[in-house]
Amino acid sequence: MAEELFIPTDTDRSAIYEALFPQLEALIGDESDLIANLANISAVLKEAFGFFWVGFYLVKEGQLVLGPFQGPLACTRIPFHKGVCGAAYTRKETILVPDVEAFPGHIACSSASKSEIVVPVFNRNGTVAMVIDVDSDQLDDFSETDAREIEKIAALISRKL
Ligand code: SME
């Protein structure tokens, strides 16, 4: 695909996700390198929505290890039982956190992060291979729309695993 992203302006978040999805499909469709694909997905989400931090934590060596991301410096390793990422891994479900300070065990990589969503990405055999972590510097910035749309992106990645 052309290395240029089309992002509709003057519209709501769900319309932006709708415009992005086929572009993401095209972007990673013919590329087999996982790290390259995760790097570009992080870049696309960051550019399209201006999120504070977007990235991946990969299941490695019995913990979650930082993968490709866009945004400020982040924690490198997260135990499975810690933080929002650990909760998404353990519960095998999307976790929406409207206020990170109210989430027990939240790992504060940055005090600027106020709300977040973490979505698991599954292997073909149904185990969690990684999580997508998106952080906002606004409180209550994520909705069911983000959950549904980021889960679609997670399913797209799963097809490549
Ligand atoms: N918020 C995460 C930690 C990772 S950073 O936000 C990038 C958590 O509590 O799982």
Per-domain boundaries in the chain: 13-158
Report the phi/psi class of residue 152: left, alpha or beta, with left for phi > 0 and alpha for psi in -120 to 50. alpha
Residue 113: CB within 6 Å of ligand 1?
yes
Residue 52: CB within 6 Å of ligand 1?
no
pLDDT 10s digits, 102-131 = 998 888 888 889 999 999 999 999 999 999
Q: What is the pLDDT of residue 106?
A: 85
Distance CA 89, CA 81 (A): 9
Q: Residue 117 corresponds to which tokens in the numbers above?
A: 């969503």
Residue 135: CB within 6 Å of ligand 1?
yes
Q: Which residue out of 107, 134, 136 has the highest number of ligand 1 atoms within 8 Å of its CB and is therefore the one to mutate?
A: 107
Q: What is the pLDDT of residue 2?
A: 57
Q: What count of other Cβ atoms lies within 10 Å of the Cβ of residue 55?
A: 24
Q: How far does CA 99 lie from the centroid of its chain?
A: 17
Q: What is the pLDDT of residue 130?
A: 98
Q: What count of other Cβ atoms lies within 10 Å of the Cβ of residue 52?
A: 21
CA angle 156, 112, 75 (to 5 degrees): 60
Q: What is the pLDDT of residue 110?
A: 82
Low-confidence stretches of the chain (pLDDT beneath 50): none
In CATH terms, the fold of domain 13-158 is: Beta-Lactamase (3.30.450)
